[in-house]
Amino acid sequence: MAASPTVPAPASTPDTPVRRTGWIADLTFAVLTVVLFVAVALATGVHNPWDGPIPLALFLGVLLLVRRRWPMTVLLLSVAAVLTYHLGHFSPAGWIWPVAAAYFTAAANSRVRWVVAVGVTQLVYSAVDARWMIDRNLVRYLMHTLGEGLLLAALVAVGLAYAASQRRGGLLREAEYRARAAEERLSVAREVHDIVAHTLAVVGVHLNVAADTLREEPAEAAAALRLAQDVRNRAMKDLNALIALLREGPAGTEPQPDVSSLGALVADARAAGLDVALHEHGDLSTIPAPASVAVHRIVQEALANTLRHSGATTAQVAVGRHPRSVTVEVTDDGKGDPTGGGITDGNGLTGMRERVRALGGTLTAGPAPRGFAVRAEIPVAGSPE
């Protein structure tokens, strides 16, 4: 049984590359905070950076290394450290920007009203602390307070936008996972239907033969039962491989039946009393695996339908390998409608259409002048001329 693609569940924890990227970002924020704070402190007249600026910068930088795990705690400790620094040191280095990364992270990961409350409290305190500027330079005071307020608003807005983008990304990943899971379920349903439908059709014919000949021709009945058992065993092998694939993934599963197994399908149908002729055109061994599997399943389902519904005595199977496509046609001489009457798709025909459509091909199925016909064409990229 082939390895159809398995659908991984959404990861519950970030993988190694994501964690590595996060640590790089944290370290970058930490280094920038240390360098910029010390540089601004020196540029604004601090003569001894080891007396306050460097210890504060290092403390703020170390806090940023755990900003993702405890965003609100990091923010509160950072604001408290800046407040303590300003109580003991005169510096126009600012209040909000030294903890910009902490505000951004908290706004993106915590309840934003608490972040705003902390920020407004810090702004009010900084405005009161700088009130001495009012008499000396009112414009400078307004620039100081308004600038700090605008910076805080920008940091909160960017944090909220980042959080929204993360949520959108999570929803998109979840939607993609659900779509892939639905496609996987549909694929499994098609495989199970193809295996079971073909098996029941062939086994049913042999059981009918055995029931009709059990008394008068016990040897013929025994032969029919043995054939039914062989078909059943092959079906069980396919179903077991499919279950193993679902449980353990594609590793170690058997190859899925493809065009190389068409002979077995034809032999089963012949053993069930249907005179089947198989016509192969071109080098079928060069058909890519997905198209090859699809051809096998189309022939399997078409012959199963012929055995179950049509009352046909003969069938023709034609598979062709062309430069840009693969074609498959199954016709029989059963109950057809020359007027082209309507036909209702069952699970089998629906599964065939979905399988072919997934490969970019087309499939038609309906009454023919002498029976029923199923025709499919599947494009194949890079086919040999």
CATH code assigned at 286: 3.30.565.10
Confidence band of 159 (pLDDT split at 50, 70, 90): confident
Region 362-375 average pLDDT: 88
Domain-embedded: residue 40: yes
Judge whether 29 lies within some domain: yes
Residue 325 lies in a domain: yes
- Through-space distance between the first and last CA atoms of the chain, rounded to whole angstroms: 30
Mean pLDDT within 220-235: 69
Domain limit, last residue, from 129, 154, 182:
129
Q: Is residue 194 part of a domain?
A: no
Give the DSSP letter string of 183-199: HHHHHHHHHHHHHHHHH
What's the rounded Cα separation, in Å, for the pair 194 and 297? 7
> Strands 314-321 and 362-368, how do they pair?
unpaired
240 domain-assigned: no
Sheet containing 314-321: order of strands: 275-281, 314-321, 325-332, 371-379, 362-368
Q: Percent of the chain beyond pLDDT 90? A: 6
Question: Within its chain, how far is the Cα of 203 from the centroid?
Answer: 38
Q: What is the average pLDDT across 47-72?
A: 82
Q: Please report the pLDDT score of residue 38 as a whole number.
A: 78
**Residue at 289 is within a domain:** yes
Give the closest residue to 156 by CA, choosing from 232, 104, 222. 104
pLDDT of residue 239 exceeding 80, the answer is: no
Q: Tokens representing 294?
A: 């699809």
Answer yes or no: is 138 within a domain: no
Average pLDDT, the chain: 76
Q: How many domains does the chain have?
A: 2
Q: Which of 129, 148, 179 is the last residue of a domain?
A: 129
Task: Give pLDDT, residue 237.
Answer: 65
- Asked whether the predicted pLDDT for residue 6 surpasses 50, the reply is no
* Residue 14 pLDDT level (bands cut at 50, 70, 90): very low
* Residue with the larger pLDDT of the pair 1 and 345: 345
Query: Percent of the chain at pLDDT above 70?
Result: 71
Name which of 2-11, 63-72, 174-183 the model is least confident about.
2-11
More confident residue, 297 or 192: 297
Buried b (16+ CB within 10 A) or exposed e, 127-165: beebeebeeeeeeebeebbeebbebbeebbeebeeeeee
Which tokens hold the place of 136?
A: 């000396």
Q: Does a structural domain hold residue 160? A: no
Cβ pair 302, 330 in contact under 8 A: yes
Mean pLDDT: which of 136-140, 207-211, 284-288 is highest?
284-288
Tens-digit pLDDT profile for residues 244-255: 655 555 544 455
Last residue of a domain, one of 129, 152, 178: 129
In this prediction, residue 374 carries a pLDDT of 92
Vertex 208: Cα angle to 1 and 226 (nearest 5)? 50
- Residues 304/201, Cβ–Cβ less than 8 Å: yes
Radius of gyration of the chain (CA): 37
Question: What's the mean pLDDT in 41-69?
Answer: 79
Q: DSSP for 24-73? A: HHHHHHHHHHHHHHHHHHHHTT-S-TTTTHHHHHHHHHHHHTTTTTSHHH
What range does the domain containing 317 cover? 258-385
pLDDT in tens, 322-359: 888 999 999 998 875 443 444 445 556 777 888 888 88
Q: pLDDT at position 377, please?
A: 93
